[in-house]
Structure 1
Amino acid sequence: MTNNPLIPPKRVVEIVAFPDLQLLDVAGPLQVFASANEAAGKSGRPAPYTVRVVAAAARITTSAGLDLLAEPLPSADAPVDTLIIAGGESVHAACDDKELVHWLTARAAAARRVASVCTGAFLLGAAGLLAGKRAVTHWADCDRLARSFPDTRVDMNAIFVRDGRLWTSAGVTAGIDLALAMVEDDVGHAIAAAVARELVVFLKRPGGQAQFSAVLTFQERDREFDRLHGWMAGHLAEDLSVSALAGRMGMSERSLLRHYRASMGVTPARAVEKMRVEAACQLLATTRDPVKRVARRCGFGSEETMRRSFIRQIAVAPHDYRSRFSSSASL
């Protein structure tokens, strides 16, 4: 490591592994930080990261059957910038490893920030690091996380959550989103965007923070309305009133309302609103279209109607959403 005061020291990132973990929970963030080093070098800047995979054993077999060679768990008080806990089905066995949990509690105290990928959040909870925090994990495990750590506010709709120095991400590939956000926070938008381009992923997913597509969620619930949902998604700027949808289904309005609510758990009007908000989020994040034009393209009719829907659905106004998630900024 250089002693040149004009060159900042590398940030040490440790990814904590354990037997039978999810391979991509390690490989995704690892590649993001490695690519950030490459992107920095191409721009004439020093590599910002030193990344290590650490574990209690020297060889870790992942759930995919691929072995990883890991460095030993370092001393709890050794310098470290970022501590990331991987996940996987075996995380609950790891939570029963008292030595690992004790080390993690102590190690987290030395880190500037601590993070988890997917079900790695359970290890953070076992180490007492989720108390009073907002967090997320894989959608299928959010309920269990909330039950296991009732003093944690679990947000099952988020791709990743940042609460102070604690970062948590949703399932598997969301670890890439989390790592990209860290890179952007550390070394700026240009490097993070270059990494996203290299890995062929979004710097910020156009859907914003949601783990699910509204259309996909609805289509998973009941096949009766599959075709209707597909048509709705492609015709958001058209008349999607209850009468129009009922006519398309060959049902009376009353019958549509009854069957739809029973199958979907929401009214047709609320489903339309969710789809329109999701589509508007994509346009706001990936285009430079004026907000008024986005509102028209997505079927809101007016900018004010869209604003009210955004507040109701995602608790943020369209202009604020664009400023936070737009990936169309010049590099």
Structure 2
Amino acid sequence: MFHILDLSILSVFGIANHFAPGSYEVEVVSMTGGLVHSKSGVGIDTVAFTDQHYDTVIVGSTPGLPTPTPDMVQQLRASARNARRVASICTGAFILAEAGVLDGRSVTTHWGFAETLASRFPRIQVVPDKIFVRDGQVWSSAGMTACIDLVLGLVEADLGHAVTKQICKTMVLYHRRSGGQSQFSVLAEIDPKQERIRRILTFIKDNLREPLSIQQLADQVNWSPRHFSRAFQAETGLTPAKAIEKLRVEAAQALIESGHTSAARIADQTGFGDDERMRRAFLRVLGVPPQKFVRDSRSVKLDVGR
């Protein structure tokens, strides 16, 4: 059984073939072939997983933790040796790990299974909060929609940024999330119960370039500044200033990962005012300066261009 959302990667490959004809020939395989049911109840026809040479092997996710059979482990181990690259989606990392394919590698999985993966397979370096991770010829993604980002990364490595940009436009995706992006947004992480506090957080996110004083925020919900500050911290666990800083850092990181490299311009667009204030905020929130993300973004582009 599998999560039907994994099949969305077939659309990525299919649309890639539209812009670069003949680039991909895809087979959906299972150990015995035939109809395989998804957790949603919809089935898909598969062919038997054989000893033939596969350029890329992608292991899909399962509801809950998978229990691969010895035959599956053996077949994957052999296929991984011959393939140009292998990848896992969500809990598929457990199957590749059981086959020994991930030993010594940095990998990710769904945040809910990361701790279990790390404890069960100590030879793996689990990166618990990334959309996807590439370590040499081994790729792995977080759960659910992260599989689309993973496969867009594979296609970009093969065909370049221009093609993936066209795929994103066709699929009505805002842009391809980089692998280094967190599995969580700040808004999802804070998740207050009060509707007024949720409205304030949305207002902050939409107005990051503004000064965003306590008085200005309190006025949005017709509270006194003192009551607003107390209620906000009680709901979110953060002072308004800390929440604003985290949202600005998240927005700045997204700009860097989408190709913007001017620190002064990013600092201006996200409300930091100057790049030194932005640098200090990155160190407080993420533990690393923004220049690291600029370097990582450039290294990804250089790798893709080879």
The 8 Å contact of residues 207 and 213 in structure 1, kept in 2 or not, is answered as no
Match for residue 139 of structure 2 among 139, 142, 167: 167
The 8 Å contact of residues 219 and 225 in structure 1, kept in 2 or not, is answered as no
Looking at structure 1, the residues matched to 111 and 20 of structure 2 have their Cα atoms a distance apart, in angstroms, of 34
In the alignment, structure 1 residue 70 sits paired with structure 2 residue 51: no
The 8 Å contact of residues 178 and 257 in structure 2, kept in 1 or not, is answered as yes
Q: Secondary structure at the match of 2:191?
A: helix
Partner of 1:97: 69
Partner of 1:30: 10
Looking at structure 1, the residues matched to 90 and 265 of structure 2 have their Cα atoms a distance apart, in angstroms, of 37
Looking at structure 2, the residues matched to 322 and 163 of structure 1 have their Cα atoms a distance apart, in angstroms, of 15
Q: Secondary structure at the match of 1:51?
A: coil
Amino acid corresponding to residue 41 of structure 2 in structure 1: G
Looking at structure 2, the residues matched to 226 and 85 of structure 1 have their Cα atoms a distance apart, in angstroms, of 38
Per-residue deviation at 1:312? 4.7
Unmatched 5+ residue regions in structure 2? 302-306
The 8 Å contact of residues 84 and 114 in structure 1, kept in 2 or not, is answered as yes
Per-residue deviation at 1:237? 2.9
Per-residue deviation at 1:233? 2.1
Amino acid corresponding to residue 79 of structure 1 in structure 2: H
CA spacing shift, 1:219–1:54, aligned 2, 3 Å: same
Looking at structure 1, the residues matched to 159 and 209 of structure 2 have their Cα atoms a distance apart, in angstroms, of 40
Residues 135-185 of structure 1, C-alpha deviations (whole Å, 9 max, x = no match): 111222222222322332222221100011111011121111111111111
Report the more deviating stretch, 62-71 or 244-253.
244-253
Looking at structure 2, the residues matched to 207 and 233 of structure 1 have their Cα atoms a distance apart, in angstroms, of 23
Partner of 1:329: none
The 8 Å contact of residues 281 and 321 in structure 1, kept in 2 or not, is answered as no
Per-residue deviation at 1:190? 1.9
Per-residue deviation at 1:133? 1.9
Partner of 1:80: 54
Residues 243-262 of structure 1, C-alpha deviations (whole Å, 9 max, x = no match): 87789864659x849x83x7
Aligned identity (percent) is 36
Partner of 2:159: 187
| Match runs of 1:26-175 below 5 Å | 27-41=7-21, 47-57=22-32, 58-75=34-51, 78-89=52-63, 91-92=65-66, 95-175=67-147
Amino acid corresponding to residue 26 of structure 2 in structure 1: V
Residues 18-76 of structure 1, C-alpha deviations (whole Å, 9 max, x = no match): xx101121x122221121111113xxxxx12121111113211111111111111111x
Per-residue deviation at 1:294? 2.7
Looking at structure 2, the residues matched to 275 and 166 of structure 1 have their Cα atoms a distance apart, in angstroms, of 32
Unmatched 5+ residue regions in structure 1? 1-19, 42-46, 327-331
Amino acid corresponding to residue 74 of structure 1 in structure 2: T
CA spacing shift, 1:296–1:29, aligned 2, 3 Å: same
Per-residue deviation at 1:196? 1.7
Per-residue deviation at 1:87? 0.2
Looking at structure 2, the residues matched to 263 and 130 of structure 1 have their Cα atoms a distance apart, in angstroms, of 41
Per-residue deviation at 1:131? 2.3
CA spacing shift, 1:201–1:247, aligned 2, 3 Å: closer
Looking at structure 2, the residues matched to 205 and 99 of structure 1 have their Cα atoms a distance apart, in angstroms, of 35
The 8 Å contact of residues 134 and 153 in structure 1, kept in 2 or not, is answered as yes
Instruction: Say what the alpha-carbon RMSD is for the aligned residues.
Output: 3.2
Per-residue deviation at 1:283? 3.9
CA spacing shift, 1:226–1:207, aligned 2, 3 Å: farther
Partner of 1:210: 182
CA spacing shift, 1:88–1:114, aligned 2, 3 Å: same
The 8 Å contact of residues 29 and 46 in structure 2, kept in 1 or not, is answered as yes
The 8 Å contact of residues 206 and 325 in structure 1, kept in 2 or not, is answered as no
CA spacing shift, 1:144–1:180, aligned 2, 3 Å: same
Looking at structure 2, the residues matched to 206 and 278 of structure 1 have their Cα atoms a distance apart, in angstroms, of 13
CA spacing shift, 1:206–1:182, aligned 2, 3 Å: closer
CA spacing shift, 1:256–1:240, aligned 2, 3 Å: farther
Amino acid corresponding to residue 23 of structure 1 in structure 2: I
The 8 Å contact of residues 135 and 161 in structure 1, kept in 2 or not, is answered as yes
Per-residue deviation at 1:194? 1.8
